[in-house]
Every structure is written in C-alpha cells, then in structure tokens.
Amino acid sequence: MPSKPSGFLLSDRMRAFLAVAEAGSFRLAGQALKVGQSTVSRHISELEESISARLFQRTTRSVVLTEAGRHFLEHCQAALRNIGDAEKALRMLSDKPAGHLVAHVPVSFGRLHLAPIIHEFTAAHPYLTVEIVLSDDYADFSDSLIDVAIRIGRLSQGSLIARKLCDNVRQLCAAPSYVETFGAPEHPRDLADHACLEFTPLRTAGTWQFVSGDEEQTVVKPRSVLKSNNAELLLAAALNGVGIGIPAHFLAAAHLRSGALVPLLPDWKIVSSAIYVVYPDRSQLPPKTRSFVDFVVDRFSGTLPWDRD
C-alpha cells in the first residue's frame, strides 16, 4: 500500500477505510488512528452510505473487502499516489527559490558588475522574479519590500547579517593631463591646493582619510571643485582632467591599467572599507534570499571582475 500523504488531505472516512483495509480489523485500525473502534465503525458506515455500497464483509473473526471494496481501494491507492506526487511537487517548490526578490544595489556597482551577470541568476531560478533597485541611498530594511542589499562601506550596528564580498579599495588618482598641468601632490595635506572630486554619498564626505606605509594616519579636507552623488560622473570628470578623485577600484581599475588614470601618493593609501551583501536576521532565511546571497558571494570572491584583464 502506498505511503499516505499528510492527513489534512484525507477525510476521516477515507483514513478509516484505508486503515481497516490495511489492518483487517476495526480494533487495530482504531489503534493505528488513535481513535476508538466505534469511531472507526461509524466512519465506515457513513462512507458506505454515501456511496451506496458495502465495502467490507464483517464476520466475528475477520473483516474482508467486498468486491466493491476492492475496486474502491484500487481507486483510493491511485488517488493516494496522485496526492503524494502533488505533495512532493509542493515541497520541491517550497524548497526552490520562488516568488519576488527585491535587491538593493549601489548604482555603479550594479550597472558595471551585477548587470553583466544577472542573467545567470534569473536563468538558474525560473520560479523567481527579480527586482534590482539601483540606488546609492542607504538601504532601509524597515521597508519590508527589500529582501537583500549590497552595501559599500562600514556597517552600522543593527539586526542585519552581513557577508563580506571583498575589500573596497579606493585609489587617489588623476588623468595624466591634470598632473602635467597642475603637478602631483607629495603629501595628503597638499590636496588643499588641488582641484578635487567629491562623492557625496560617502559617510566621510568632506574629508579623506589616509594611512601611510608606517601606519601614520591623516585626515584632510580636500578642495572640492566638483561634487556628485554619482560615482561614474566623477570618474568621467577625472578622466577628462577636471581634478583628483578617489574612485573605487571596481570603477577605476581598467583605467589605471590602461594609463588613462595615474595613481598618486604611492606611499599613502585611502583608508578602505568593504563591500558586503546584507539581509535581515531571520531564523529561517527564505530560499530566494539565500540563493541571491550565494550567487553574489560566488561571483565576487577569488579574482574580482574588475581585476581581470
């Protein structure tokens, strides 16, 4: 006899019939169902009355199926198999990423590095619809529409789980034309006399923090001739010789390799942060969120896309 599906899918009468057919006894069927023998007998009588057929031949020693009972059992077993298949399909669906996923991603990172690979994620999860919100605003998880976010920079305290993807290295740099015209700074404090490009969403906006090879730290206030909340606009300005910037490596790496931008102050580094994927602290992470987290962790580990030639 096939394994029975969850009880809520079977009526009390059906459960009683299957139990008696399997046990050959009203008493044993009652024990299996944890109900009294009289309850089993009542369910069978109600079932027989509803279908206008006797299902069991009762004797003092045994309970056996009638011809109608045998036919009914065959159909019940077929129905059980169908119900079991349906439950299995439901379990598989609940285990698979499904539904609607909202991911909050910084604009430039999303456009340059998530957009070229997001098709791989959607193709792997056909039951999932994906909404990518590109914004450099801080993702507010109090808005229940956001399932997961990529954050760049230091994390604030809160009830979020964060997995680090990689370091967020920033490089002080400028176009060769700028250096030829205005020279290169020799110390971070010299930036007060240079045209600088400021990315306003940074938490440290208005100040640039440097650390030297011997761990000396200094904070400078650059003379900003151009400010923007869009990192790619500032990158374009740097490439066109407008001033000195501190673009993230994921933006500027190719231009630094090509010589379109030249690194400045080689003995000093911008105090770096990191890039994280973050999501709410839940006892059971939904499959749709876990699948996205695993995807970005896999794609942004090892050799990073912007470091490949």
2 DSSP 8-state letter:
P
Of residues 155 and 115, which shows the higher confidence score?
115
CATH label of the domain that carries residue 51: 1.10.10.10
Do 227 and 86 share a structural domain?
no
Residue 179 pairs in a beta bridge with: none
Do 229 and 178 share a structural domain?
yes
Mark which of 95, 124, 139 sits at the end of a domain. Answer: 95
Task: Return the closest-CA partner of residue 158 out of 17, 37, 276.
Answer: 276
Would you say residue 175 has pLDDT above 90? yes
CATH label of the domain that carries residue 180: 3.40.190.290
Would you say residue 95 has pLDDT above 80? no
Q: Which two tokens stand for residue 276?
A: 């994280």
Distance CA 48, CA 43 (A): 9
Mean pLDDT of 104-119: 95
At residue 3, the pLDDT reads: 44
Do 73 and 18 share a structural domain?
yes
- Has residue 19 been placed in a domain? yes
At residue 227, the pLDDT reads: 95
Do 13 and 46 share a structural domain?
yes
Query: CA dihedral in degrees (259, 263, 267, 273; nearest 10)?
Result: -120
- Has residue 16 been placed in a domain? yes
In which domain, by residue range, is 26 found?
7-95
Q: What is the pTM of this model?
A: 0.67
Do 247 and 123 share a structural domain?
no
- Has residue 2 been placed in a domain? no
- Has residue 289 been placed in a domain? yes
Distance CA 306, CA 251 (A): 8
- Has residue 242 been placed in a domain? yes
Would you say residue 71 has pLDDT above 60? yes
Distance CA 197, CA 224 (A): 5
How far, CA to CA in Å, does 259 sit from each of 94, 177, 188, 213? 51, 11, 22, 24
Would you say residue 2 has pLDDT above 50? no
Determine which of 100-109, 138-147, 207-216, 248-257 has the lowest per-residue pLDDT on average.
Answer: 138-147
Q: If pLDDT is split at 50, 70 and 90, which confidence band does 302 have?
A: confident
Do 159 and 193 share a structural domain?
no
- Has residue 1 been placed in a domain? no
Distance CA 96, CA 309 (A): 36
Do 89 and 114 share a structural domain?
no
Do 55 and 71 share a structural domain?
yes
Do 108 and 52 share a structural domain?
no
At residue 1, the pLDDT reads: 42
Looking at the 3D structure of the chain, how many domains does it have?
Answer: 3
Q: Among residues of the chain, what percentage have pLDDT more than 90?
A: 55
**pLDDT averaged over every residue in the chain:** 88
